Amino acid sequence: PVTMKSLQTSHISQIVPDLLTAKLVLVGSPTINNGMLPTMAAFLAYIKGLRPKKRTGFAFGSYGWGGQGAREVAAALQDMGWEMPEETVNLQYVPGKEDLDNLKEVGSKLARAVE
């Protein structure tokens, strides 16, 4: 099953149980002040302390001018030893329909690969 969580509406403690049983985790963050969202940074630091292994990850995000947010997410997942079979997707400004369709395809491809 696919579960989508938002750090804006869910506390970290509500997200972690699903993450600890997931084989695949897709993590997205826009860029703010040339980095990932502070809530995402806190979430990834919390997860790192739990040391989840044997996970496949994927990072994506959007940016206006800097573009570091999604790259920082990808680096954090790689630092945890997660497999990252797809390149990070980093979209400038508001993603369009084609961008979102491409992201859905990447997600579907990754889901098939971990089944």
Residue 21 DSSP SS3: helix
Which has more pLDDT, 37 or 2?
Answer: 37
Indicate the class that CATH gives domain 12-109.
alpha beta
Burial of 16 (0-12, 13-18, 19+ CB in 10 A): middle
Return the domain boundaries, the chain.
Answer: 12-109
Cα distance between residue 60 and residue 88, in whole Å: 6
Q: Tokens 């992201």: give the residue.
A: 103
Mean pLDDT of 53-70: 93
* Confidence (pLDDT) at 48: 95
Single out the residue of 112, 46, 52, 45 nearest to residue 85, CA to CA: 112
How high is the pLDDT of residue 16?
94
> CB of 76 within 8 A of CB of 25?
no
Both tokens assigned to 16? 């972690």
Residue percentage of the chain with pLDDT more than 70:
100
Contacts of 39 by beta carbon, 8 Å cutoff, 6+ apart: 7, 8
Measure CA of the first residue to CA of the last residue in the chain; give whole Å: 11
Q: How far apart are CA 110 and CA 77, in angstroms?
A: 15
pLDDT at 1 over 80: no
More confident residue, 66 or 57: 57
What global pTM score does this model have? 0.90
**Is the per-residue pLDDT at 2 higher than 90?**
no
CA distance 6 to 8: 5
The residue-averaged pLDDT of 52-80 equals 94
pLDDT at 65: 86
Per-residue pLDDT tens digits for 45-58:
999 999 998 899 99
At residue 115 the predicted structure's pLDDT band, cuts being 50, 70 and 90, is confident
